[in-house]
Chain A
Amino acid sequence: GNSVTQMEGPVTLSEEAFLTINCTYTATGYPSLFWYVQYPGEGLQLLLKATKADDKGSNKGFEATYRKETTSFHLEKGSVQVSDSAVYFCALIFYGNNRLAFGKGNQVVVIP
């Protein structure tokens, strides 16, 4: 079936450091890909998305590129802030299929 795999474990880094969170997927065909963010005490909100191969989604300084050849959608930010501390989820959905599949999420803690 369709699934999303995120790198294990929380991520702790200093302010202004470079952030990468890995996401790979298993799917038959070409899904749309998403990154969601969950700030403390809140529900999930969409951070960025990409709907076809080589698309780059971007928002709030975050970027992710849809790589068909490696079935990946890694999230990056060049200089993180304390306010980026949150849980980040990678997700996919297929056109015509209503079901959204999520990775397990990564807790990101940014230290001043």
Chain B
Amino acid sequence: DVKVTQSSRYLVKRTGEKVFLECVQDMDHENMFWYRQDPGLGLRLIYFSYDVKMKEKGDIPEGYSVSREKKERFSLILESASTNQTSMYLCASSGQARPNTEAFFGQGTRLTVV
């Protein structure tokens, strides 16, 4: 079974902390994505990576950074957590874009910043 695994289902962090969200995929996919999901706003792309050490900003990159040192792992970093970053974070991966390419998602990390 193909799998995208996020390191935590639930996290509670304090304002100002540096937070790491980890994502690992076992499908040898080139592309990996971080989204946040908020009620009424759907999925918004934070960052994505199409190769090791490569990254591109999504729609809402402010306050976030990413790291992709190995093909299977994509980390999202909140440099200084704030309460408005309380959200559900979803990681996804996909192969190179072809007509049948689909994305596979992790189960999500619900982050609460207090």
Chain A residues with a Cβ under 8 A of chain B: 32, 34, 36, 41-46, 49, 51-52, 89, 91, 93-100, 102-105
A95 touching B41 in the complex, CB below 8 Å, given contacts A43-B106, A45-B105: no
B25–chain A nearest beta-carbon distance, Å? 12
Interface contacts beyond A32-B101, A34-B102: sample of 7 additional A-B pairs, CB < 8 Å, sorted by A: A36-B105, A42-B107, A95-B98, A95-B99, A97-B97, A98-B30, A98-B94
Residues in chain B near residue A36, CB distance under 8 A: 105
Chain B residues with a Cβ under 8 A of chain A: 4, 30-31, 33, 35, 40-43, 45, 48, 50, 58, 90, 92, 94, 96-108
Residues in chain B near residue A98, CB distance under 8 A: 30-31, 48, 50, 94, 96-97
Residues in chain A near residue B107, CB distance under 8 A: 41-43
A81–chain B nearest beta-carbon distance, Å? 23
Contact A52 B90 (CB under 8 A): no
Contact A43 B90 (CB under 8 A): yes
Q: Which of A45, A96, A105 sits near B42, CB closer than 8 Å?
A: A105
Residues in chain B near residue A41, CB distance under 8 A: 107
A-B pairs with lowest CB-CB distance, top 6: A104-B42, A43-B105, A51-B99, A44-B105, A102-B43, A43-B107
A93 touching B43 in the complex, CB below 8 Å, given contacts A43-B106, A98-B31: no
Q: How far is the CA of A95 from the CA of B50 in the complex (A)?
A: 14
Residues in chain B near residue A51, CB distance under 8 A: 99-100
Q: How far is the CA of A14 from the CA of B42 in the complex (A)?
A: 25
Residues in chain B near residue A45, CB distance under 8 A: 105
A99 touching B43 in the complex, CB below 8 Å, given contacts A43-B105, A94-B97: no
Residues in chain A near residue B40, CB distance under 8 A: 104
A50–chain B nearest beta-carbon distance, Å? 10
